[in-house]
Amino acid sequence: MGVSVALSRSVLWYADLPGVAESVPLARRYVRDVLVSAGCTRIDDVLLLTSELLGNAIRHSDSGREPGGSVSVVVCREAGIVRVEVIDQGAPTSKPEVVTDLDEEDCAGRGLWLVSRIASMWGWHEGMTGQVVWFQLAESA
Domain containing 114 — which CATH number?
3.30.565.10
pLDDT at 111: 83
Domain that holds residue 129: 11-138
The total of structural domains in the chain comes to 1
pLDDT over threshold 80, residue 9: no
What's the predicted TM-score (pTM) here?
0.85
Within-domain flag for 6:
no
Within-domain flag for 2:
no
pLDDT in tens, 56-112: 999 999 999 999 999 999 999 998 999 999 999 988 766 655 556 655 555 555 788
Within-domain flag for 130:
yes
What's the pLDDT band for 4 if we cut at 50, 70, 90?
Answer: very low
Helix, strand, coil fractions of the chain, as percent rounded to 5: 30, 25, 40
Within-domain flag for 113:
yes
| Exposure class string for 50-66: b at 16+ Cβ within 10 A, else e | bbbbbbbbbbbbbbbee
Within-domain flag for 39:
yes
Which residues, including other chains, have CB under 8 Å from residue 93's CB and lie 6 or more apart? none
pLDDT over threshold 60, residue 119: yes
Q: What is the mean pLDDT of the chain?
A: 86
pLDDT at 26: 97
Give the gyration radius of the chain's Cα atoms.
Answer: 14
